[in-house]
C-alpha cells in the first residue's frame, strides 16, 4: 500500500476585496473534491497547515472552520455513513504540508480513514498582502487530497524532517506590547541576516541525506521546493549538483506581489504535473525549509510514470 495524490487545487485571493483564510481554504477544498469527483463526506480527516490569517485569528481551531466551509460531514448524527470526519491544525510554516503528508501516511496505513484532505491558506492579517510592501507572502489557498493505493508502485516515500540548533532564521509574530488599536491587522515577519544561506544549508543537507538513504537517483528527479527566496530552487539544485532546470519553485497566482508560503508544495505539484515531467524524469522530491530553522523532504512517484 502507498499514499497517492488524488487531486489538488489552489485559489488566489480576490482582486476586488480582502482575503479570508478560511474562505480560501474552503474554496480550494471544494475545487479539489470536484476534480476528484467526490462528495465532501468522502473525506475522513482534514489537516489544516496555514499559518497567517486575517485579524491574526488563532482560536478556535481553524481546521474546524475550514471543514464547515468545505461542507465535510456537517452532521454526523444525521449522516453517519461513511463516518464522522476529524479535523485539526498542524502549523510548521513552510514545512507544514510535508508534515501533514507524514501524518496522513500513518492514518491511511492503519485504515483509520480512506482519504485525507490537507489545506493550506495564508492571508495577511489586514486581508490584503499586496498593500503591505514589507510582508513577504502572497494571499493564497490550496488543498491536497490523499488516499491509499492498493499497489506497491508509485506514491509517496517516507517523509524526512530536520532542524538546526542555530537561532531561528525566520519568525513571524505579533508584538502585543505595542500593537495598539490596529494591531490585529498587522504582523511582524523577521528574517535574520543570512537566513537564505542558513535555510539553503539545512535543505541541501536534508535532501542529500534523503537521496542517499532512499537510493534516489537525483538525475531522474524534479525538485519541487518551497520558496523562502526567489532563487531558492535554483540554488538548491546547484548545491545538489543538478542543473537549474531540475528544480521548480512556483510563483503565486493572482494579483499583487508575494511568495507562496505554506501552499507552495501544492502549487509546485500542480505546476509540475500540468507541464509534464521532463524526459528522463520519473519522480518528484518535495523539499521545504523555513522557520525553526526546519526542513522536510519526501519523494513522490506519480502512478502514471
Same domain? 190 vs 289: yes
CATH number where 229 lies? 3.40.47.10
Same domain? 148 vs 187: no
**Beta-carbon neighbour count of residue 34 at 10 Å?**
13
Q: At what angle do helices 21-36 and 62-70 cross, to 10 degrees?
A: 50
Point out the domain boundary residue: 152, 169, 196. Answer: 152
Point out the domain boundary residue: 128, 152, 176. Answer: 152
Model confidence at 132, in pLDDT bands (50, 70, 90)?
confident
Residue pointed to by grid coordinates 490569517: 53
Residue 97 is predicted with a pLDDT of 97
DSSP-derived secondary structure for 219-243 = GGEEEEE--SSTTHHHHHHHHTT--
Higher-confidence residue of 62 and 255: namely 62
Point out the domain boundary residue: 152, 178, 193. Answer: 152
Residue-wise pLDDT for 170-215, tens only, equals 766 666 666 666 666 667 677 777 788 888 999 999 999 999 999 9
Same domain? 171 vs 235: yes
Residue 82 is predicted with a pLDDT of 60
How confident is the prediction for the chain on average, in pLDDT? 86
3-state class (DSSP) for residue 3: strand
The answer to whether the CB of 38 falls within 8 A of the CB of 132 is no
Answer yes or no: is pLDDT of 298 > 70: yes
HEC-encoded secondary structure of 62-80: HHHHHHHHHCCCCCCCCCC
Residue 55 is predicted with a pLDDT of 66
Structural domain containing residue 222: 160-301
Same domain? 97 vs 38: yes
Model confidence at 128, in pLDDT bands (50, 70, 90)?
confident
Residue 152 is predicted with a pLDDT of 64
32 Cα distance to chain centroid? 14
HEC-encoded secondary structure of 115-161: EEEEEEEECCCCCCHHHCCCCCECCEEEEEEEEEECCCCCEECCCEE
Same domain? 189 vs 129: no
pTM, two decimal places = 0.90
Residue 305 is predicted with a pLDDT of 46
Same domain? 200 vs 291: yes
Residue-wise pLDDT for 7-48, tens only, equals 999 998 887 778 888 999 999 999 999 999 999 989 999 999
Higher-confidence residue of 152 and 161: namely 161
Residue-wise pLDDT for 68-100, tens only, equals 999 988 876 666 666 667 899 999 989 999 999
Question: Residues, the chain, total?
Answer: 305
Instruction: Specify the number of domains making up the chain.
Output: 2
3-state class (DSSP) for residue 173: strand
Same domain? 224 vs 272: yes
What is the percentage of the chain residues whose pLDDT exceeds 70? 85
What is the percentage of the chain residues whose pLDDT exceeds 90? 49
Rounded Cα distance, 4 and 101, in Å:
10
Question: Taking residues 282-305, what's their average pLDDT?
Answer: 88
Burial class (CB in 10 A: 0-12, 13-18, 19+), 60: exposed
Same domain? 148 vs 217: no
Same domain? 130 vs 241: no
Amino acid at each position: 500500500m502507498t499514499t497517492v495524490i488524488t487531486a489538488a487545487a489552489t485559489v488566489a485571493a480576490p482582486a476586488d476585496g480582502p482575503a479570508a483564510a478560511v474562505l480560501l481554504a474552503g474554496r480550494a477544498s471544494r475545487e479539489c473534491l470536484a476534480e476528484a469527483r467526490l462528495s465532501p463526506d468522502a473525506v475522513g480527516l482534514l489537516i489544516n497547515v496555514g499559518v497567517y490569517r486575517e485579524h491574526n485569528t488563532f482560536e478556535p481551531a481553524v481546521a474546524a472552520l475550514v471543514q464547515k466551509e468545505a461542507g465535510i460531514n456537517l452532521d454526523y448524527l444525521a449522516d453517519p455513513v461513511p463516518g464522522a470526519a476529524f479535523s485539526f491544525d498542524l502549523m510548521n510554516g513552510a514545512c507544514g504540508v510535508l508534515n501533514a503528508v507524514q501524518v496522513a501516511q500513518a492514518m491511511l496505513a492503519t485504515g483509520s480513514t480512506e482519504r485525507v484532505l490537507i489545506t493550506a491558506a495564508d492571508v495577511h492579517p489586514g486581508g490584503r498582502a499586496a498593500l503591505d510592501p514589507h510582508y513577504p507572502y502572497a494571499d493564497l489557498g490550496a488543498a491536497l487530497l490523499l488516499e491509499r493505493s492498493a499497489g506497491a508502485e508509485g506514491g509517496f516515500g517516507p517523509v524526512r524532517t530536520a532542524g538546526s540548533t542555530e537561532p531561528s532564521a525566520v519568525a513571524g509574530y505579533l508584538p502585543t506590547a505595542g500593537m495598539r488599536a490596529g494591531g490585529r491587522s498587522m504582523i511582524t515577519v523577521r528574517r535574520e541576516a543570512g537566513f537564505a544561506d542558513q535555510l539553503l544549508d539545512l535543505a541541501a543537507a536534508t535532501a542529500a541525506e534523503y537521496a542517499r538513504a532512499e537510493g534516489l537517483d537525483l538525475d531522474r528527479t524534479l525538485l519541487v521546493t518551497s520558496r523562502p527566496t526567489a532563487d531558492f530552487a535554483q540554488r538548491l539544485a546547484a548545491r545538489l549538483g543538478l542543473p537549474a532546470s531540475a528544480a521548480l519553485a512556483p510563483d503565486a497566482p493572482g494579483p499583487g506581489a508575494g511568495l507562496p508560503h505554506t501552499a507552495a508544495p501544492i502549487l509546485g505539484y500542480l505546476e509540475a504535473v500540468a507541464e509534464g515531467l521532463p524526459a528522463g524524469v520519473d519522480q518528484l522530491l518535495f523539499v521545504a525549509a523555513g522557520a525553526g530553522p526546519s526542513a522536510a523532504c519526501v519523494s513522490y512517484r506519480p502512478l502514471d510514470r
